[in-house]
Amino acid sequence: MKEKIQENLKGILGDLYNSADFDIKEFDINIQENKEKEHGDLASNIALVLAKPLGKNPKEIADQIKANFFTDEDITKVEVAGPGFINFFLSKKSHGSVLKEISVKKDNYGSSKSNNKKVLIEYVSSNPTGPLHVGHGRGAVFGSVLARLLSEAGFKVDEEYYVNDFGRQMNILAASLWIRYAQIFNNELKMFKNGYQGEYLKSIAQQLKEQKKDGLFLSDLDLNDLLDRDKQDDESFTDSVVEAIRSRLGDEFIFIRDFALQKILDLIQVDLSEFGVKHNKWFSESSLYKSKPGSESIVDKAINELESKGFIYELEGATWFKSSALGDDKDRVLKRGNGEYTYFASDVAYHLNKYDRGYDRIINIWGSDHHGYIPRVRAAMEASERNIEKLEVVFIQFANLIRSGKKVPMSTRSGEFITLKELIDEVTTEAARFFYINRKSDQHLDFDLDLAKEQSKDNPLYYIQYAHARICSVLNKSDIDVDKLSGSDLTLLELDKEVELQKTLKQYPKLIERAALSSEPHLICYYLKDLAGIFHSYYNSEKFLVEDQSLMSSRLFLLSGVKQVIHNGLSILGINAPQEM
């Protein structure tokens, strides 16, 4: 109906104002749903938009449009309201077209044809130094659902995990694993304060022992003097412990580091898979620093490109990027005086690499504590003459776990934290996914564990799934072939709730498009809750298996449309639509 009205308005405006000194077709004709039905089903503000360029009173323009708009069996009345809004009243029959569209498209209702635009979503990207915990869950679900949403909207989507496997933290991990391994042979050996304390390392240490036996144990390596120095926040102390272990192990230290990395990545991949999250690309930070003989690394290539644009200078032996010239609050070091590259150097090289892979949209999903990174990264892209409009950053606020009305402690100190797997085991994957995504990403989230397990209308996921199960029950009891309902008399669907359901179903494709373009997958949750609410109200007030076969057929056809859209929406969220509950 919106498209029909738009076409009619284009024709009317072209006839009325063909002598205007501008092309009337250049103006977008916006058609909106009216929330209050007494004002009509749809409305347009085109008269107000054209008032200034035409030099006319908007109400006069609206009256002229109304006088030339022919009503028919679909559009029964046109009214002018307020300063010049045009309201359109639709027949009850006109709403039924959406049910026929759903019955034809089924799982594809709401999806778009490929637009050939490529999107890269990089998300989770937790340091591979331990298993995923509940703090990673919200970003993981957001990225996963956004990827499904963009695919539904016709984009070609890649989901990438950036593996931070380069630098100091990996060395600390390797030293921590060696100590856990050595403790198997000498339980008096202590873990250093800034080492990785989690129990998961003990399990990996056992696997290391199974493979290497005691071949990596250094009985004569005395770390006690170092470990007895209780200097938790002393970075040089930590580095001295790591260096003592690394220098004695030699090449075996690299083996231990790679062993730890692979085992933890295996843990991460299993946890993500059980959470319904599957990246099709894994990008290693260390690959940025590798080069073949005679060629430069990706990092060096990035720095050289910035230098060629005049944005690099040397100071006190360090290599600096002039980011302050492009909006950052200060210049940034890319390479320290001792020859070590900074994390920012990796960020610059990685993002330039993303651009060079030819994506139309590059989406980073970052924790809210990374706000400060935007100016420096955008400055580097701008300095390299990349289109900064392609780069989008979505910030994920922290989520609090609530049990029995109280906040659950989630300290990561000393390796004590609630893992993502523990959360899944407690509330199920589907509940965790829904509750994580059921709020705008930049808003704080209180994840109510008790509510997530509750089977009542207060649990929004249960409420939505129950609507689907209820419809399945009615359709099963009817013993009617749903595929044969498309010939139903849809003029019989004249109750307010029936019209409201059909109007809500019509909104679904536009919702998908809007949510995909704005990177707001939570809108699907809101939509499904509204749709389920209207259905449950309808279900509680009307009967469906009635003696009047025509009326029963029409109502069942409506229910089948609601069922299909709930199924489609939950599918994007990565959640099952149960047939019984």
What pLDDT, on a 0 to 100 scale, did the predictor assign at position 431? 97
Domain assignment present for 43: yes
What pLDDT, on a 0 to 100 scale, did the predictor assign at position 413? 43
Higher pLDDT, residue 225 or 35: 35
- CATH code (residue 66): 3.30.1360.70
- CATH code (residue 505): 1.10.730.10
Domain assignment present for 115: no
| CB-based burial, 49-77: b 16+ in 10 Å, e otherwise | bbbeebeeebbebbebbbeebeeeeebbe
What pLDDT, on a 0 to 100 scale, did the predictor assign at position 526? 98
**Residues 419, 525: one domain?**
no
**Three-state secondary structure string covering 71-88:** CCCCEEEEEEECCCEEEE
Domain assignment present for 98: no
Number of domains in the chain: 4
Residue 39 has pLDDT above 50, yes or no: yes
Boundary-marking domain end, from 42, 72, 90: 90
Q: Which residues, other chains included, contact 533 with Cβ-Cβ below 8 Å and sequence gap of 6+?
A: 463
Boundary-marking domain end, from 418, 435, 453: 453
Structural domain boundaries enclosing 59: 2-90
**Residues 45, 64: one domain?**
yes
Q: In 3D, which of 574, 221, 246 has the Cα closest to residue 430?
A: 574
**Residues 166, 245: one domain?**
yes
Domain assignment present for 283: no
Rounded Cα distance between 65 and 241, Å, is 81
Please check whether residue 441 is in contact with residue 515, taking contact to mean a CB–CB distance below 8 angstroms.
no
Domain assignment present for 201: yes
Domain assignment present for 577: no
**Residues 231, 377: one domain?**
no
Average pLDDT in the 46-52 region?
92
Report the alpha-carbon angle 248-251-252, nearest 5.
75
Domain assignment present for 198: yes
Task: Give the pLDDT confidence of 530-568 residue by residue, as tens digits.
Answer: 999 999 999 999 999 999 999 999 999 999 999 999 999
**Residues 363, 414: one domain?**
no
**Residues 261, 401: one domain?**
yes
Boundary-marking domain end, from 348, 368, 395: 395
Global pTM exceeds 0.85: yes
**Residues 269, 312: one domain?**
no
Residue 36 has pLDDT above 90, yes or no: no
Rounded Cα distance between 49 and 57, Å, is 11
Rounded Cα distance between 355 and 387, Å, is 9
pLDDT above 70: percentage of residues in the chain: 96
Domain assignment present for 108: no
**Residues 504, 432: one domain?**
no
**Residues 209, 305: one domain?**
no
**Residues 68, 162: one domain?**
no
**Residues 42, 167: one domain?**
no
**Residues 183, 232: one domain?**
yes
What pLDDT, on a 0 to 100 scale, did the predictor assign at position 415? 54
